[in-house]
Amino acid sequence: MSASTAPVKEGLRPDRKKTKLGYNVLGLVIAVVMAFPVYWLIISALRPNHEIRSYDQTLWPSSITFDNFARAVKQPNFGTAIQSSLIISITAVVGGMIIATLAALAVGRFRFTGRRALLMVLILVQMLPPTAMLIPIYAQLNAMGGLNEYWGVIVVYLVSTLPFATVMIRGFVVNIPVELEESAMVDGCTRMGAFRRIIFPLLAPGLAASSIFALVNAWNEYLFAYILMNEDSKYTLNVWLMTFTTERGTDYGALMAASTMIALPVVVFFMFIQKKMATGLTSGAVKG
């Protein structure tokens, strides 16, 4: 949008170009500041260890090495941590998406008593401080024998994806014209048939975006995983990251390498939904 207006503005006055250059330089400086910690993560992961344990930190490594990655992979429980993280996040997201889609259809397609109340509850529960939930959930899972079991964490993650997933999928549902569904039903589809043949295919991009969002959240969560799972062999990747800090200090090289490996899929997924989200938002704008 601004791409088309920019040249026109530049033509207005001769000093515009100079101002624009100033803005651009400032913009690049901010980009560098914002991206710097990410740069530092990657560069520290690739740096030889003697440079990491140095009083004179340099912005550029003298040589590139994969030693840190080798140490990170050899850290005990790396394999089981990947396994735990995958099992927990995927189960929670799949379950959460099914329940959230059903609720989003109800909220987006029907007017019923309690609909607004449900939406309000969905928004409010997201504002509860984590500790208000953590203590009673810990006590309850302890009583039910759910500590150190995958299902305890899975249930918590599944439900914590529900509020935003329902609100988000509802946004996509209301953007599908109800006439499409109605004409399918006039042509002889059942309500279920209309959902399967008409709504679901149109909803697929929205569902993909919501599930990736939920997956990223579940992948990044560490507090509940840390408190509810005390066995080394059941640590999720984030809790496993904490094992790099011991009484004797932190192995920053290996920690940065391990962090890079954990963050990489998240960054890729995030870039991916960013596009999807933009499409979802613009399609909404066009329709309105």
Partner 1 sequence: MTAADTKAAGPPLTAADAPQGGPLAKQPPGAGRPKRKKGALLPYLLILPAIVALAAVYAYPLVKTVIMSFQDMGRRELWTGESPPWVGFDQFTNILGDPEFWRVTLRTVVFMAVCVVATMAIGLLISLLMMRLSTWVRLTLTTALIAAWSMPLLVASSIFRWLADSDYGLVNTIIAKFAGDDWLGHNWFLDPVQGFTVIAALVIWGAIPFVVITLYAALTQVPAELEEAAQLDGASAFGVFRFVTWPVIKPVFIMVTTLSVIWDFNVFGQIWLLRGNKPEPDYETLGLYSFSKAFTSTSFSQGTAIALITVLMLSGVAVYYLRQLMKTGEVE
- Contact set for partner 1, span 260-279 (CB under 8 A): 262-263, 266-267, 269-271, 274
Does 256 participate in binding partner 1 (rule CB under 8 A)? yes
In this structure, which amino acid lies at residue 138?
Y
Q: Which of 87, 99, 189, 208 binds partner 1 (CB under 8 A)?
A: 99
Q: 169, 200 in Cβ contact below 8 A? A: no
Q: Which of 15, 56, 63, 248 binds partner 1 (CB under 8 A)?
A: 56
Q: Which of these ranges, 75-83, 95-103, 196-204, 207-215, lies near partner 1 under the rule CB under 8 A?
A: 95-103
Six token digits for residue 27? 């913009």
CB of 279 to partner 1, least distance (A): 13
Q: How far apart are CA 96 and CA 74, in angstroms?
A: 34
- Of 11, 57, 76, 94, the one binding partner 1 (CB under 8 A) is 57
Closer residue to partner 1, CB minimum distance, 19 or 233 = 19
Q: Which stretch binds partner 1 (CB under 8 A): 40-48, 68-76, 84-92, 207-215?
A: 40-48
266's CB contacts (< 8 A; 6+ apart) are: 216, 219, 220
Which residue from 72, 93, 238, 254 is in contact with partner 1, where contact means CB under 8 A?
Answer: 238
Backbone angles phi, psi at 235, to 5 degrees: -55, 140
CB 169 within 8 A of CB 207: yes
Largest CA distance in the chain: 75
The stretch near partner 1 (CB under 8 A) out of 69-77, 82-90, 178-186, 196-204 is: 178-186
Residue 250 pairs in a beta bridge with 245
221 and 161 Cβ atoms separated by less than 8 Å: no
Tell me which stretch binds partner 1 (CB under 8 A): 69-77, 83-91, 196-204, 213-221. Answer: 213-221
Residues in the chain: 288
**Window 116-155: residues binding partner 1 (CB under 8 A):** 116, 118-125, 127-137, 139-140, 142-143, 155
Q: How far is CA 84 from CA 207, 215, 218, in A?
A: 24, 14, 12
